[in-house]
Structure 1
């Protein structure tokens, strides 16, 4: 039982690190796209405010929520494998 708890805690820590990495990468890509959009369209005004507003919109987007699949997919697959091995 202790080994299982160690596996679960270790897996949670690993998945959290993966989630943070993917989240930071996705946010930086979005920031780059917003800066490129600002430059391409030749907008005037405060670029930083435009980027911050775009990132605020991104925080509520579906893409941001889909990154939580980093937790859902591995846990679901592990549960399915355990079920199939023991009960099928």
Structure 2
């Protein structure tokens, strides 16, 4: 039982670090694309406003929500492996 608790805690810590790094990376890439789009297109508003509005739309996008798969996929895979190992 102690080994399972240690696996859960360490897994949560590792997945959290991966989630945070992936979130920052994805947001930085999106910010870069928005800045390039602003430079290439018509400039109706200043760059910071354009980027801020674009990031607000990004926060509600499906791509942002898919990052939560970092927690879901490994937990499901480990659960299936444990189940199949013990009950098959």
In the TM superposition, structure 1's runs of 4+ consecutive aligned residues that sit over 2 Å from their partners are none
| Equivalent position of 2:67 in the other structure | 67
Looking at structure 2, the residues matched to 36 and 76 of structure 1 have their Cα atoms a distance apart, in angstroms, of 38
1:15 counterpart = 2:12: no
Which runs of structure 2 are paired with 1:26-45 in the superposition (5 Å)? 26-45=26-45
Give the CA RMSD over aligned residues. Answer: 0.8
1:78 counterpart residue number = 78
**TM-score, with structure 1 as normaliser:** 0.96
**Structure 2: gaps (5+ residues):** none
How many residues align structurally?
88
TM superposition score normalised by structure 2:
0.96
Range moving further from structure 2, 41-50 or 12-21: 41-50
CA distance in 1 between partners of 2:78 and 2:6 (Å): 15
Gaps of 5+ in 1: none
